[in-house]
Structure 1
Amino acid sequence: MAQVIIFFIVPHWLWIFWLLNGPAVLAMLFYFLQIWWQGIILM
């Protein structure tokens, strides 16, 4: 029974995790890209 519950909860949790973190990951990548680009300009 526990295995069935885990099987149902985990995919939903991963889906929620990706929905919440997708934009955050993109924002972080954009932020690092901006810092890297400013570093090139300053050089």
Structure 2
Amino acid sequence: MLRLHRITYNDKGTKRKVMYEGSLGGMIVPHGDPDDSTSSDT
């Protein structure tokens, strides 16, 4: 899990808030060959 807290950036000397708290629990990864001609979707 990835957790981010108090994300800011410097805008010409001014600290700008982007996000207070965020998290990413997982990733969606497609499996299989998208060019597979045996797919039933064709």
Same fold per superposition (TM over 0.5): no
- Please state which structure has a larger fraction of its residues in helix: 1
Q: TM-score range by the shorter chain?
A: under 0.3
Instruction: Find the structure with the greater CA-based Rg.
Output: 2
Higher relative contact order (CA 8 A, sep 6+): 2
TM-score, normalised on structure 1? 0.22
